[in-house]
Amino acid sequence: MKLQLSNISKTYKNGVRALDDVNLDIKQGMFGLLGPNGAGKSSLMRTIATLQLPDRGTVSFNGINVFENKIEFRKDLGYLPQEFGVFPKDTAEQLLNYFAVLKGIVSKKVRSVVVSKALELTNLENVRNKRVSTFSGGMKRRFGIAQLLLNDPKLIIVDEPTAGLDPEERSRFLNVLRNIGSENIVIFSTHLVEDVRELCHELTIIKEGKILIKSSPSEAIKSLRGCIWETALSKEEIAELPVTHTHLSERFNESGQSLQRIFSKEQLNNGFTRVAEKLEDFYFMNLKSGNQ
């Protein structure tokens, strides 16, 4: 199972170049698409989902050109956009039955099995008779996953799915994605590095429509081994660091002291402490490099 993006570019009518010669090969499993707001993540998701055409480039799924075979491709596609609207007066079971009919599942017996399985996979079985309008944000996101699972998709796209969720709801939602990710291609678009660290076997970082790098979380962290330092220098002092020292981020310790995280391959002394590298460091390091 393979999704291949070749030379994808997209410029909107307002002149914004959302995608700039994107090339990616994505295999079975959880794939994280990381980038700041406005980086082009949603534009890329909509393009893969055939909701918009690129100005240039192709997308193929298992060797089939998806833009030339949209109807056939969409049978294997499950897409959960950032904003998912629902019908407020219907129960979860009623809505899923409705969506199943739209997806061509006409047999009432088959629909019953498919809907029950989707509710079970998303941990919504105990609220199947409750109105979706009463669901929490996390439950609505899981309901979104339930509806896209009805046609047993092989490619699943979820765009910023944990934004705005509290820690408990986020954990439940990530567990749902983890359960379905092993047998499918799941593209997980987010600006939250911790989501990718917990879920994905591969990641890529996108900025201003360009792919900066592709890696696995483990290899990404390994590439920074021994190169991450912390110091209590002021922001003014940080600005005067040598070009070989890259300022990554800032955090505060229990005493409220500001600690600056620095990347440097050189041995640093005089107030610098070597600390364990994190995936967040890799993310910030590549965003900084993308500015150059």
- Give the confidence band of 168 by pLDDT, cuts at 50, 70, 90: confident
239 in the same domain as 134: no
Q: Is pLDDT above 70 for 75?
A: yes
Digit-coded pLDDT (tens) for 238-260: 777 777 789 899 888 777 778 88
* Residue listed under structure tokens 């039955």: 97
Q: Is pLDDT above 90 for 12?
A: yes
Q: How many domains does the chain have?
A: 2
Angle subtended by helix axes 137-148 and 167-181, to nearest 10 = 10
**Which of 168, 192, 216 is the last residue in one of the domains?**
216
The pLDDT of 254-267, averaged and rounded, is: 86
Task: Give yes or no for a contact between 157 and 189, defined as CB atoms under 8 angstroms apart.
Answer: yes
More reliable by pLDDT, 228 or 140: 228
Number of other residues whose CB lies within 10 A of the CB of residue 258: 14
Q: Reduced to 3 states, what is the DSSP secondary structure of residue 32?
A: strand
132 in the same domain as 66: yes
189 in the same domain as 236: no
- Give the confidence band of 232 by pLDDT, cuts at 50, 70, 90: confident
Q: Which domain holds residue 176?
A: 2-216
Most confident of 71-85, 104-118, 188-202: 104-118
The pLDDT of 108-135, averaged and rounded, is: 93
The pLDDT of 264-291, averaged and rounded, is: 89
- Give the confidence band of 170 by pLDDT, cuts at 50, 70, 90: confident
Side by side, the strands of the sheet bearing 273-274 are 246-252, 258-263, 228-231, 273-274
Task: Give yes or no for a contact between 41 and 32, defined as CB atoms under 8 angstroms apart.
Answer: no
More reliable by pLDDT, 88 or 8: 8
- Give the confidence band of 162 by pLDDT, cuts at 50, 70, 90: confident
pLDDT > 70: percent of the chain: 97
Q: Is pLDDT above 70 for 85?
A: no
Has residue 289 been placed in a domain? no
The pLDDT of 262-284, averaged and rounded, is: 91
pLDDT of residue 160: 83
Number of other residues whose CB lies within 10 A of the CB of residue 241: 16
CA distance 208 to 81: 20
CA distance 155 to 8: 19
234 in the same domain as 207: no
263 in the same domain as 166: no
The pLDDT of 277-290, averaged and rounded, is: 91
- Give the confidence band of 292 by pLDDT, cuts at 50, 70, 90: low
Number of other residues whose CB lies within 10 A of the CB of residue 285: 24
Sort 110 into a burial class: Cβ within 10 Å, 0-12 / 13-18 / 19+. Answer: exposed
204 in the same domain as 269: no
Has residue 281 been placed in a domain? no
Has residue 292 been placed in a domain? no
Question: What CATH number has the domain bearing residue 66?
Answer: 3.40.50.300
Dihedral over alpha carbons 281, 282, 285, 290 (to 10 degrees)? -150
pTM for the whole thing? 0.86
